[in-house]
Each structure stands twice: as C-alpha cells, then as structure tokens.
Structure 1
Amino acid sequence: MKAALGSNPSYIWRSLLWSRPLLEKGLYWKIGNGQKIATFADCWIPGKGVYQNNSPIPQNFSMVNTLIRNGEWNEQLVNELFPSHVASKILSINLSASTQEDSRFLFFDPKGKYSVREGYKSAIGLYDPPVNSSEVHLKSWWQFLWSLSIPPKVCIFWWRVLHNIIPTSGNLLVHHVPTTGACPLCHFAYDSTSHALFSCPAIKSCWKDTRYWSFLKSVRMMEVFDITLWIKSKLNRKDFEFFATRNFAVWMERLRAVHNNDSKKKEINAEWCETMLCGYQEARTSILTLASTYNVNSNRFAIGGVVRNHEGRPLLAFGKKITKPPSIVAAELIAIEEGFQMTQTQHLRINQITSDSLMAVQAVTSPEEDYGYTGAFATKIRNLLASHAHLKLEHVLRTANSVAHSLASFSISSPSPFVWICREFPIWLVKLVIEDLIPI
C-alpha cells in the first residue's frame, strides 16, 4: 500500500496504483491486538474512519494497542484523548479477539471481502448514498442551508447535489439512461457529482482564480457531501453563500458548454453569479427605522426602532430608556447606534437606516468636522457606515416614521427595555405597521 509509482512505470503498474485510493477508501481495520493500527492515521473507528486530531499527537499513544489494558479498553484514557461522541464509538468495539493480529476488511461488502463487482460499483460512485434530510445529525446542516440568503433555485440545486440526483453522465447511467458515464468535457473520467463540480480539468480552471481554490485543490477521493461540510467549516456565512452560488453558476455554464458545444467553457467566472447573489440580497433589503422621544413630565428620554423587510413586514421592534443626552440630536444619533447594534445581535442584515431627524443625518453625512456635543456621536456613526459599505443613512419625513416614534413613546412607560421578534408583536404595533405608509 506504500509502493511508489516510479520514474517509468508500466501501464499495468499505473493501473494497479490507480486502484489504491479505491482500496484505501473502503478498507477499515478490524482490531485484534491493536499493534498495527495507528491511532490518528488509520481507519478503525466505526462510522468515523480516520479521526483528525488538531492538537499535538501524544507519542505514547500513537498505536491503538496503547489504548488497551488487560484485553479491555482503557476507558479513562479513551475519554481523555477523544471527544465524547468518538469515545463512545471506540468503547463499543468488541475486544474479544485482542490476542489475534489486526486485520483489514472492506466496509461496503457484507462479508468484508473484495470482489471485482463491488470494486467496480465503488469506483463508479454507486456507494455515494443519498443523504436523508430527516437524520438527526444532519438537521442543523439542512437548517443552515435553507437559512442562507441565496436564491431559492440555488438552495434547490444544492438539495439535488447533496442527494446525488443532478443529471451528470454517471447519475444518468445509474438510472439506466443510455450513456457511457464518461465526463462530456474531459471525455476521460467517470462523471460523478464531485467530478462535475470540482475535479474535472475544465472545471478546475474556473476555480483557480478564486479564494476557494486553496481548499478545493486538496480535494481527492472525497464525497461531495464531505467536501461541502469541509468547505463550510473553513468559510464564514457570507463567503459560503458566494461559494454555493458560484457552484450553481459553474453547473449552469457546464450545461451550456455541453448542450451548445460552446468552446468558451473556460470563461466561467464569479462575475455573473456574484451579480445575481447581490441583486437577490438587495431585493430583500431590510430597513431600520429609528426615533427618539422626550417626555417633559417625567424628564426621560427613550429611543425606539423597527426593522422591516422589502415587503414592509416587521422583523424586529425594540425600545429602551436612555441616559439624558446633551441634545435632542445626540439622542437621535444614540438611537441610530443602538439600533444598528441590535440588528447585529439578532443577525439581521440591513441595507438602510432611516431617521426623521434631518440634523442628525446631516451631522453624520456632512464633510465638516463637528467639535460640539454631537460631534463624538456623529463620528461613531460615520465610522460605522464606513465599515459597512452596503449600509446607507437617509432622512425621511416624520409622517413616515410613526411606528418608531410610537415604540419610543411606549418605552417611556415600559418598566424595562423590550425586544419583539417576528410573531411576538403586540396587536397595537401590528395595526400601526399596517397603517404606516413608509415607502419601501
């Protein structure tokens, strides 16, 4: 299994070494005495394969036999070296044959033996099982996918990808559609889902100029679902949205190249998919409307705000009393800052902040430096806008800001700050939102 290709290998030797990753993919260790099995380098954990340990590997426990004591697992040591969900799988392994030597078996064959039939099926990807979205351990993944701010057609595309049902030549062959199963672009490799999206030479040229290439170039003999989860662990939410959308674009360009015999297939780039994603997200713009109020009788200041989506529906409403500011304009600026921080806490993307205080808006947007009471507050807002290029601050008329003012007024009499989300809104607020005529 460790033999090298050599400088001038024969066709037979190259063919034999080509099948080595196939064996490595399916071979698991059956534990006997544990002396041949590397703890952190071999496949031996049920349902886990190789456990990737990010911390320094203890030299004393590099082999599995160091985890065994008197024919039984050293439970305390296993729990110290592995997370609880991995340790439980290890401790479930029967060590009745601990006096025998370690042996290897093929996990995809019922008897653990290799046959040409089973090897062929594995080679063409028939052992890429469809992902069941009802499985408990995948529930969080599906929730993440459907919560992404990407077009629905991209979400559906990824659902098809992860269920291995996009019409690649390989998938068509599996479903008895007359085809060779070979990739229609490179005309050499088997056209599996992972090959079509990541491994095909024609497709690789579409990824090399992107930030994702450093991850994808190391992909080898991995299932598309494993690749996706691995990439997700490396990217933040925004970058993964672009990655998901770019895959959709790559697939669409691939279809165009195949069906139209287009020689410009190497012109696949991120421009049109990024434009599509940005256009979709801008169409779903959320607006944060803010206001402050002052009650003469109680000598109290309060702020209030509401976030609404592109349809005008409220997503979030809040209000709170604030310490007496140096001026009314400063109170409006505090409302803007507090409102933005609230949207960040609730993970809401907003593209526009509106206020009916023209002086507050001008204090932020004016190029002249303000050394008065409001200057420090305005500088904070200005820096906030500079760090979020998509965010705009605009002035609206008082008549278009009635909901925010009602929330600020309600805060004066409220015993504590409040935050209402989605369906938690009181009836009086729902009525105000319906009556409000703020332009979206």
Structure 2
Amino acid sequence: MGFRTLEAFNRALIAKQVWRIAINPVSLVARVFKARYFKHHDIMDAPIGNNISFIWRSLLWSRKLLRKVLCWRVGNGEKIATFRDQWIPGLQSLMLPAGNPNDLDNVNSFIVNGAWNESLIRTTLPSYIAEDVLAIPLANNSSQRHGFLEYIHPNESSVKKGRFGDFKEARESLITAPAPKPLPQLERWTRPPVNTLKLEVDAAVNFDTGGYSIWVIVRDHDGQILLAFGKGISKTQSVVFAELLSIRDGMRLLEERGIEAHVITTDSLLAVQAVINPAEDLSYCGALALDIRNSLDSRTDTNLRQVGRSANRVAHSLAFFSLSSLTPFV
C-alpha cells in the first residue's frame, strides 16, 4: 500500500491518540489515563510510572514522536519553561541553551504588558534566536489556553499515502473537475456608508527570505486615507498567518486611536474562513483567528469581508512595495 514500514505507520496512529488526549483532556479516555498515570501532569509531561499497562507503554513510545514535531503556543508564558520546553518554531533544535539567569526560567520573563520585551530578548539571547522569538505573536486568548503548534522538522519523515491512493484522488479530480469558467470582471472599490470608516488590510510575503510586511489603511466615504500603518517582520510561518496578523493589528490600531470601522476588508479568503470557523485550532493561526473573532463579537457594527485584490489595491500595493523594509510606518 505504499507504507515504508508498518512500525512507522503504527507509531503514527498511536501518536494520533496521544494528541487527542492532549487536546481533549475532558474526554473519558483522557480522564481514565490521567487518574491512573498522570494525576498532577498533562500527558506530554507524564512520568512513566510503575506497573504500567501495554497500552500506556505504547502511548509513551509514540509520545516521543510528538515531542519532536510540536512546540508550545505562547500565551502569557507562565507555564512554559524557557530552557526546557520547546516553544520557538523555526529552530532546528527548538531548544534554548542553558546557563542564563535564573529569573528567566519561564517565558513570561520576556513579556511585559502583553508584548515581548525586545530589549531584554536582544541582550539575553543570540541574535538568530531573538529574531525568531520576536516573530512569535502573543494572542490574547492564549493566556487562558496553552496549546501546541505543529512544527514539522525537516529531517523527520512522515507517514504518507501510498501510490494507489494518490492515483485514485488524481483520477477522481479529473473526472469531477468542472468546466472552465470565464474570467470574472475586476471588482471595484466600494465606499463605506456615509459618516462611517473602512479598514483595509493586506500582507505580502517574501518567500526567499521568509519575511513579510503588513499594511492597514483607514478610508472614509469619499475614499480619503485618514490613517495608515505598516510594518515588516523578518520571519513568518505562512501566508495566512501574515494575513491574519494584518487584520488583528489593524483592529488593535483602531482600538488604540478610538476609531470604529463599519467594515474590514481583506483579499484573503483563507483568513476570513479561519476567523468564521468555530472549530478549535491550536496553531498560531488559530490563536490569531480567535482573537479577531472575539474582537468582532464585541463590535456588533463591524463586519469582516473578503474582497477581490482589485478592490483592495491600495493596501496590497503598500504591503508589496514595503517588503524591503522592516521599519514601521504610520
């Protein structure tokens, strides 16, 4: 069937059960194992124990695989050990060197008022690690829910579907593929209602460097730009991540300035879908989407819409042409 080894396939299936226990600790199976093996821990930190069953031994065997490809999603950082836990995506080892001051044992030591303490991070950590840390977003909701972010190590192989499954999917996609549709007409920019404002956001990613830039602009009914803000970050995790960050930062900018927008527009359909999807997502994209969703719920007069790129041209052009600079613009 295309599996490289049955052992790897079996280990991946068991690791999936470990992951289910980790993300759903109130399930019956999770509570049974917790009562027996890890009353004062979670499954990722549970000790081996004594007189363990074959099932528990198998779960611990597959847990090692998860530890190689998962890292913490940072919220307030209180429960994350700086030099023991894996919490920085993008680093090959995902670990920080030991030997730093004791008052930095937890990640919350690097966080001040819900934001990274950039000066402390740059003076304490190596430059290449500091850039990765500063690129991690701190989502408001993560302070109440610590989760794991999937991180695929470049040297780790994964269980893949066999050639038969790939061929079957390709054949079915050809059979069910719809007929080509005519090219749609370019979507025009639309005015917000009179005496209201419109927030337009976009992000651009440089796939060669991994950096990205975001721009947000506020326009009135006449199309005048009342406020604009842009910034660049050295590293990003995905295009959707950058798009979601542009929406969240745009909403935060409005809140800081005491401005209300009637509509928020982005040309990223995936970002909008992530926001309206109620399913739990433990990735950083899920944390950003939840932040945005909570902010929208508190603003009953604000709507998030996806528009064509031609209707979001100003924000798109600013984001694209500012990729070469990481300096914030206001």
Fold match, TM over 0.5? Answer: no
Higher RCO (C-alpha under 8 Å, 6+ residues apart): 2
Between structure 1 and structure 2, the one with the greater Rg is 1
**Structure with higher helix content:** 1
Q: State the TM bucket, normalised to the shorter chain.
A: 0.3 to 0.5
